Structures are given as structure tokens and as C-alpha cells.
Amino acid sequence: MANLNLLHRFSPLQDETVQLNMDDLRGRLAQRLALLAIAVAQFFILFYESAEPFPLPAIGFWLLLTAVAVGALSLSNQKPRLARHLLVWGLTAVLLFAMIFLPAPWLPFVGVLLIFCQAMLVQGSEFVTGTMMVGTAVYLSLAHNYPYPLAGVLTNLILAVLIAWLTIRALYTALDWLSKTQRRAEQLLDVTRSQQAELRSTVKSLQITNEARLQAERELLIANKQARESQRMKEQFAANISHEFRTPLSIILGFSEVMYLSPEVYGGQAMPPKLYRDVSQIYRNSRHLMSMIDDILDLSHFEMTGFTLNKEPTNLEPLMQESLSMVADLFRNDAVTLVADIEPELPLLELDRTRMRQVFLNLLNNACRFTEQGTVTLRAFRQEGELHIQVADTGPGIPEEQLARIFTEFYQVDYSLSRKHGGAGLGLAICHRFVQAHNGRIWVNSILGEGATFTIALPIEELSPGGRLYRTRSLEAQPSDKLPPVFMIDSDPTVVSLVQRHLTEFDIVPLPDAADLAEQVAEQLPAAVVWNVAPGSVPPAPTLALPVPVISCSLPSRTWMADAFGALACLNKPINFELLNRLIDGLENVQNILVVDDNSGICQLVERGLSARPNSVTVRVAYDGESGLNAMRQQPPDLLLLDLIMPRLNGREVFDIMQQDELLANIPVVLLTATDFISEQFAGQTSQLVVQRSTMFQPIELLHCIQPIVKALQPQYGNWLADQSLNGQAREKLG
């Protein structure tokens, strides 16, 4: 929707076009209103009934109205602006005259029509006229006992002013759209004419020689390659955006984690309970936001059109209590009370905790926003084989005709209070999708003026108890609720987390390496082993002897980045201090650590996080690559934490310079990154997906594997066809 201050946002050319159109409409309207006023004046004097032969107020009203209308009509062609103002303020004066000298109870309601007309003719006049009408009506009613229904008069006049103001804004918006459409049509017409000229030139060229056709094909193939490059740039843009998101969030999450889990680093004094509770809120909400950002980045990076669920057996009461604590600060106002009514001993449900927590938070946040006083209640109870969760409020409620559209994307209910509440209209739509993904239902019941109740119904999947039957054979064992394990061999926790979020039907067991793989397989009997290897690499030969399928694939791993740089490790932001401390403990006598990062918050976070180590270390910082190199040359550190993205001299260049300097080449380096350079680093190498088993595959097994692979993988013909065609044309010229 256009902004209400639209006139102030137009370009000069656009503003001039809109103003010309508006002036033209106003001029036509002024002429027609003047003619209508003349006609009204004549009908009034003809049909006015009075006990007096010549009632002076009626004659005065007739003369004033006729004079104003005739004057405006005569000036409409030569001085249209003066004519409009004369008509607007003259009609206002005539109506006020009539209210004073002709005390009819219906006269103030004529001001409703007058306000709409004046809003079109002179911008802002509706407010002046409305104020004068309201003041006159109140004065005459109270001071002279005029028989005006004061409440109805005031209500209609105020509503008329507001509606007229909104209507004129909408008219400006429509004129702006018209101007844009016209200009776009002119541009398209110019483009069409230009294309027609190019087409005639192309046809003429084709009649002379076929070279133009070959040139056009060559340009088309180049354009195809450019489109592929644009796709790559889009993915790079997504990676940069992820860096911008994760860097500030990693600082918030890192500091809150240190304050929440290791408060002793701040001097050993006990943190006040209220402060500790607030810090825990920041920490939990930051973790929740980081989890949601990971999902969003997965969608953008892999171009998925949906989302996956990471279901696990969940006790609903702690999850709901956690959600209540996360929104508790919103209910600090005494006018609204947050109430929990959770039935005890609720059954376990298979839920994605992150998704359902977001559903609860969205519903509670909406209830708080639209409830000015009363209560917001979160209930949970069993009913007819389902578990019902309700969020009830005592807000304004939802009109019945809008209940069917409440879960539509970008739809907002037009409450009387809705204009002062923000929101994009996506919260309930997201709730609807997440609940449906859990095979549940969500609906709303509402009574206007009394509040609304949103209800979620989730199915309860329980095993029916066996009856007391006599059997002649033993009962078969019930299937276990435990998911089949799948080993994931990779030392990068982000890869393991990615696999866990998408392979929800298996229990992903991370293994940093394959040192005792055979023993682990014999002990846990996994369904498969997923071995993440760099492009062009293969698992060791002994894995072929395992009795389970070994799937080697190439999921982007920060372990590859560390190996490619020759670094000790590559850590993702927010920094996992547990992993960083293990890396430090694995080195000998680390006393001096240098952090090179252009973000001062990250440097401060590393200093604070490492101050909790039992063996203290000295942490120095440098905020760019050049300063980091100078600091290393003055005093070589025992360990370097190096950010990859920095202005001027980035982490890659700093590392290359270090390798050329004998004094710096042997310094252990841990890379820090909030984005993903892995795909770019290995873009030129062939990716792979290899399935190996110690026994021969049966034909039906191979067919069952081939079918989903063919459906999932799309051919990448674009650049290959372009290169083949261009190479063929080059060979034709040489031949």
C-alpha cells in the first residue's frame, strides 16, 4: 500500500504529472458543483414553505448560495484556483449561515456531503470545515438549544473528515499508479519500436548472409553463460547476507553464553537474580534466533521450496513453560495478565521443538499486542484423542466474516486498533503451515468485543493396551520407538547439524573420524555410514569390508577449508568455546593468542570467553590484516585466530603472506568465519555421491536407488551446451 505521505515521495516529474491530473479533476468538479449549487438554490426558494410571505433567512440563503455558485462558475476558466477556493469557503459560509438562521435539525448532516466535496477541491479544507461545523453545532445546541442530535452530528462529521482524508490519499495513489502505468506504456512502446527496427534489420541481414544468425546464436549462448554467472552471484549474495546476519548475532549469543554459563569471569561476584534471569532470556532467545537463521540459510543455499522437521519425543509442558518465560517481559504491564492452564501428565508427542516453539511465541505475541486489558491464557488439555493447545485473549476479537482468511499470508484484520500495531501478516500463516506439517489442525473462535481463542489440535499417537486374551503362542515384540542410527563421519559440527535437520527418520551419530569405525558398527549396528569427503577423494579401502552401505558424499565442510589452508581448524561464528578450548589444550604451552578480526565485538568476545580458562592465556587483538602481520612479527603468537573476511587485506591473503615468512609459517592458525567460502573454494572440482557395500547389490535395490536420484538431480546442460556450440563454430571457421 502506498504511504500516506505519498505526495512528498514522488519524483519531480511524477509529482508534476499527478498535480496536473489532480488540477484537471478539481476544475471539472468545481464547475459541476457550481451548477449543482445553482440548481439547489433555485429548488430551495421554489419549494421553501414559510408562514411569513418573504422570510429573510431563506432569501438570504438563496442569494448567498446563488452568488457563490455563479461567482465560482464565472471564474472556473480564467482563475480555476480562485474559483475552487471561492466555492469551498463560500459553501462553508452559506451552510453556517443556514445553521444559524434556519434551525432545522437535519442541516448539520449536510456538512457530511460538503466535507467530501471540499476535500477534493482544496487539500486540507475538510479539517477546517469539519472543525467549524462541529464548533457551530455544539455552540448552537448548548447556547441556543437548537434541536440537533449532537452525538449523531459529531460522530458523522468526524467520520466524514477522516474518510474524506483517506479517500483523497487513495485518489493521489491512484493517480500515481496511472502516471506510472502511462510512463511504462510509453517506455514499452519505445522498446517495441526499437525492437521492430532491429527485427527488420535482422531479416534483411538473413537474406544476405547466414552470418548474422550464427552471431545471434553465439550471443545467445554467451547470455546463457551470463545467466549462470548471475545464479552464482545470487548464491554469493546469500552467503554475504548470512555473514551480515550471523556476525552481530554471534556476538550477542557469545557474550550472553559467557555471562549465563561462566559468570565468574566478571570478577567472581554473584549476579543479581533479576539480571541473571534477563541474561538467560537473551541467551535462550539468541539460540532460538540462530536456529531459525540456520534454517533460512539452508533454504536459500540449497534452493529448497519447503522446510523439514526435526521431530523428537517431546514433553509439551516444559516446552510451553519455556515459551511463556520467553514472552514474560511482554506482560510486565499490569493491565494484561499472562495465565497458564496446563493439564498435568500430558502424553509425549513427536514434535519439532523449534517449529512448535515458534508457533507458541507467534500466538502469544499476537494476543499480547491486541489485548489492552484483561488476560492472555495458554491452555493444554486432552480431548477426543487429540491434544489441544489454546491461546485465548480478552482483546477486541475478530469479525466473523474475516475468520476464514485469518491464516492467509500478508492478511491483516482491520481492527479499530490494528493501525497502531505492526506486523506483516505472516505470523499466523507460518503457524498454520507448521501445525499442518505436524498433521495437526489450527482454527480460531472469536466473539467481537470479547476476545479470540486460537486452538491447535495435535494427534496423540499411543499404542493400544493389549487385552487379556489367552494365546497359544508368544506375542511378537513391539517395535522400538528408537530411530535407526546412521553414522556421520565428519569433524565439522555444522555438517552434522545439517544432516540431522534433514534426515529426520534416523538418529544421526557423529563420528569425528573412522579410527574405531568397525568396533562402532559392531556395537551400534547402524543402518548406514555417511562419509563426508572432499571432492575427488574417496574413503579408505577397509570400509568396503563393512556389512553396511557406505555412502560417500561431498557436503560443504569447514574441515575442508582448514585442510585447504593448512590451518589447524575452521570455526564458525558464533564461536564454540568448548571446541576452541579443546584445540588450545591439544597444543603445547599456549600462552599468547592473537585474534585478527575487523569486528571489535568478536575480539572482545574471545577475550572474555578465554578468560574463563583454568590456565590463563594472554589475548592480543588486531583489527585488520596489516596490523595482525605487524603484531605477529613483533611477537609471534602461540596460536592465531584469523577472520577470513576483512577489508583491504583479507584472511586468505594474510595466511599466504605468513607462509612466505619463515618466522610466521609455523604458527598454528584457527580460521574464523560467519559465512561460507567452502563452495567457492571447491567450485572447480567434481562433486560425488558414491554408495558402496561389501556384498553385491540386487537389481531391484539398484533400481530403487536410481529412481529417487534421477528425480532429485537436474541436468546442468546450460554452460556445457554453450561451450560445445562455441567450440563447434570455432572448428567450422578453422576448417
pLDDT of residue 411: 55
Please give the average per-residue pLDDT across 113-129, as a whole number: 79
For 519-579, the DSSP string reads HHHHHH--SEEEEE--TT----GGGGGSSS-EEEE----HHHHHHHHT-SEEEESSP-HHH
pLDDT of residue 141: 79
**In this structure, what is the dihedral angle of CA atoms 433, 437, 438, 444, given to the nearest 10 degrees?**
20
Burial of 173 (0-12, 13-18, 19+ CB in 10 A): middle
The structural domains of the chain, with segments of one domain joined by +, span 6-182, 312-459, 485-556, 559-675, 699-734
- CATH of region 312-459: 3.30.565.10
Predicted TM-score (pTM) of the model is 0.41
Same fold, 312-459 and 485-556: no
pLDDT of residue 132: 84
Q: Which distant-in-sequence residues (6+ apart) come within 8 Å of 721 by Cβ?
A: 221, 224
pLDDT of residue 240: 61
CA-based torsion, 97, 98, 104, 110: positive or negative: negative
Distance in angstroms (rounded) separating the CA atoms of residues 178 and 184 = 10
pLDDT of residue 380: 92
Q: How far is the CA of 28 from the CAs of 22, 40, 359, in angstroms?
A: 10, 18, 54
Is 158 a residue whose pLDDT tops 80?
yes
Topology of domain 485-556 in CATH is Rossmann fold (3.40.50)
pLDDT, one tens digit per residue, over 70-81 is 887 888 788 888
Q: Give the count of alpha carbons within 13 A of 654, CB side only.
A: 32
Distance in angstroms (rounded) separating the CA atoms of residues 462 and 385 = 9
Please give the average per-residue pLDDT across 321-350, as a whole number: 83
Of 500, 653, 495, 501, nearest to 559 (Cα)?
495
Check: CB of residue 370 under 8 Å from CB of residue 415. yes
The CATH H-level (homologous superfamily) assignment of domain 559-675 is: Response regulator (3.40.50.2300)
User: How large a percentage of the chain has pLDDT more than 90?
Assistant: 4
Distance in angstroms (rounded) separating the CA atoms of residues 512 and 514 = 7
**266 C-beta neighbours (distance < 10 Å), count:** 13
Q: Do strands 639-643 and 592-596 pair parallel, antiparallel, or not at all (unpaired)? A: parallel
- In the block, which residue shows the cell 548470512? 242
Q: 13-17, 86-90, 329-333, 512-516: lowest mean pLDDT where? A: 13-17
pLDDT of residue 516: 80
Which of 111-115, 209-213, 417-421, 674-678 has the largest mean confidence?
Answer: 111-115
**555 C-beta neighbours (distance < 10 Å), count:** 18
Distance in angstroms (rounded) separating the CA atoms of residues 93 and 84 = 14
pLDDT, one tens digit per residue, over 478-531 is 344 577 888 888 877 777 877 877 777 788 888 877 778 888 888 888 888 888
Is 421 a residue whose pLDDT tops 60?
no
pLDDT of residue 221: 74
Report H helices in 573-713.
577-585, 600-610, 625-634, 651-659, 678-681, 699-712
**Mean per-residue pLDDT over the chain, rounded:** 76
Is 477 a residue whose pLDDT tops 70?
no
- Can you tell me whether residue 89 is helix, strand or coil? helix
Q: Which distant-in-sequence residues (6+ apart) come within 8 Å of 426 by Cβ?
A: 409, 410
Q: What is the 3-state secondary structure (H, E, C) of 433-446?
A: HHHHHCCCEEEEEE
Instruction: Extract the runs of DSSP E, i.e. beta strands, from 281-385.
Output: 312-314, 336-342, 349-351, 374-383
Please give the average per-residue pLDDT across 367-395, as a whole number: 88
Is 604 a residue whose pLDDT tops 90?
no
pLDDT, one tens digit per residue, over 275-300 is 877 788 787 777 777 766 665 555 45
- Can you tell me whether residue 718 is helix, strand or coil? helix
Is 364 a residue whose pLDDT tops 80?
yes
Is 613 a residue whose pLDDT tops 90?
no
Q: Do strands 550-553 and 528-532 pair parallel, antiparallel, or not at all (unpaired)? A: parallel
Distance in angstroms (rounded) separating the CA atoms of residues 172 and 20 = 12
Check: CB of residue 402 under 8 Å from CB of residue 365. no
* Long-range contacts at 143-151 (CB < 8 A, ≥ 24 apart): 144/103, 146/99, 146/103, 146/105, 147/103, 147/105, 148/105, 148/108, 149/105
Q: Which distant-in-sequence residues (6+ apart) come within 8 Å of 209 by Cβ?
A: none
31 or 391, greater pLDDT: 391
pLDDT band at 469 (very low <50, low <70, confident <90, very high): very low
